[in-house]
Chain A
Amino acid sequence: GENVEQHPSTLSVQEGDSAVIKCTYSDSASNYFPWYKQELGKRPQLIIDIRSNVGEKKDQRIAVTLNKTAKHFSLHITETQPEDSAVYFCAASPLSSNTGKLIFGQGTTLQVKP
């Protein structure tokens, strides 16, 4: 089955710097790659996603890139702010499933220091 590896597990940056989180997946048939943000004590919430027919997608300060050949995708946050501090999860959806069943990475705790 699909396996998603996420790095780093923790990331600390200064306010205003950029942050990059990387994920690799194993199932070359996966076609949908979302990113979720989870603030302390809250539920995960979708922040951006990308499909396999697109190489990059941006939404204000966040962007996601996808390299299908290498089977990895990354989240980029620019001009980080303290409110970006949270746990971020990547996920992949195996095409072999008829549903949108998501397999998640282990998570990255991002700390943005003022």
Chain B
Amino acid sequence: NAGVTQTPKFQVLKTGQSMTLQCAQDMNHNSMYWYRQDPGMGLRLIYYSASEGTTDKGEVPNGYNVSRLNKREFSLRLESAAPSQTSVYFCAGENLAPPYGYTFGSGTRLTVV
């Protein structure tokens, strides 16, 4: 019972490089979310997907793109990484049954140098 799985767990990028953060869930979530966590700023919503094939912007979408290719997978792409994107990234799925709220993945710690 994996829940919400994120890969990779750690990544170091050079400025200008691109990469995709992967998220997969086996909890039958319809809605999935990408957040970034920075010290003193809480969790800020980057993008979300209400259902397969749909995506929408959150609070801080600039510099990111997402894909919801199927119900299980929701990926986050950085096309040209910048030092300001150094952060911990969390994927989450919305539970449809108690306990409600989100199930988070274990996070990806990204450093852009």
Contact = CB atoms under 8 A, between A and B. Distances in A.
Interface of A: 1, 4, 6, 9, 32, 34, 36, 42-46, 49, 89, 91, 98-107
A1 B106 CA distance: 28
Interface residues on B, range: 20 to 34
B59 A1 contact: yes
What 4 pairs between A and B have smallest CB-CB spacing?
A43-B104, A104-B43, A46-B101, A106-B42
Interface of B: 31, 33, 35, 40-45, 48, 50, 58-59, 90, 94, 99-102, 104-107
A9 B40 contact: yes
A44 B104 contact: yes
A34 B40 contact: no
Given A44-B90, A100-B94, A89 B99 contact: no
